[in-house]
Structure 1
Amino acid sequence: MTYFDDLPKKFNEVTIYDYEEIDTSEFLAAAEGVKDLFNLFGSSAFIPVQNDMAGNIKKIRAAQEKLGPDHGKSLQKIVLSEVKENKKDATQGLLWLTRGLRFTLEGMKRNITHKDEEVNKSFTKAYTETLAKYHNMFVRPVFKLAMAACPYRKDLYAKLGSPLELVEEQLADWLEGLEKCVVIIEKFLDSGNYAKGL
């Protein structure tokens, strides 16, 4: 058994409709898996990271429930509904969740590519390239503490399951699906300037 076998939904299983609309329920279920991934890091230093993701997932889910099955079916429909209502809660949640997912994606992708690199180095580089520019002087130390608390590479991969070859194969597929979703959301938010002022 591996970590990926237990996930209720993997990013490479998330439905993408016409016009690159991402299914809300499936995406949020997959995002919960990223939040839970940090449990394997085995440090309370990651609680702020997990709480941030959980809070953003909650904002999007609340908007989805309010809009109902049709208008809340895709992430894009939720953002467009908020534009009409002059609201930003779920849009802000999606923006920050996507930033957190991009950070996780880059950290894990770098680590699986650089097999001789420790997890803390991969995630420190990922943080510098992704989230650091959005964080102020009070938030950056919290994330730096989390980076320092990353487990050793061998310990993390052992927790992800065995055999290692299967874990690496499943991780690569999961990252491919995650990247596809993240790129679609980033393009969508940038194209309409929905993230302006958030």
Structure 2
Amino acid sequence: MITPSRRSAVVRLAAALLAAGLALLVAATPARAHNSLTSASPAREAMLPSAPTEITLEFLARLDPAFTTIVLTDGTKRRVPTGDPVVTGTKSTVQLTDTLPNGTYTVAYRVVSADGHPVQGSYPFTVADPAGAAAPTAVPTTGPASPAVAAVTAGDGRGRGTILGVAGGAAVVLILAVGVLRWRRRSPRR
């Protein structure tokens, strides 16, 4: 038979376990960090002596091929033709369909993290081939961001994974709380 003081201790222990579980759940949420670019070829700010034939980006976490976009633009903000992204694990590669003339180019990317959050970014590199063709000249723009950034940033920008994780955590806490309340009601009282 459980005495009132022992029942009180059990209730305090259950409350402490519930609080610890909730703290672990809340503390674990930031641990599901968003994906980020770890390496690129050509690299950020690279000065290349010859034009690349492909662009390869590597990220921290696996990529979803359906939600991976890589866009290349030239100094005039025109989109440079590339093949579709080929995703292998954490890497995505696009083949360039034409040889790039000398100039500065911008690689823009958008991928979806494991938590459903879209991650995007861009970086420049320069082709400076002594035997290469002249670069296109930049044309001032009056509109929004370049076509590369516009193409990459299309979408609502909201991840579903974070919302589902929080909702699942709340459901677990609710189930535990209901279980503790039912257990307390079933215990014999003195």
TM range (shorter): under 0.3
Q: What TM-score do the two structures reach when normalised by structure 2?
A: 0.25
Structure in which a larger fraction of residues adopt strand: 2
Higher RCO (CA 8 Å, separation ≥ 6 residues): 1
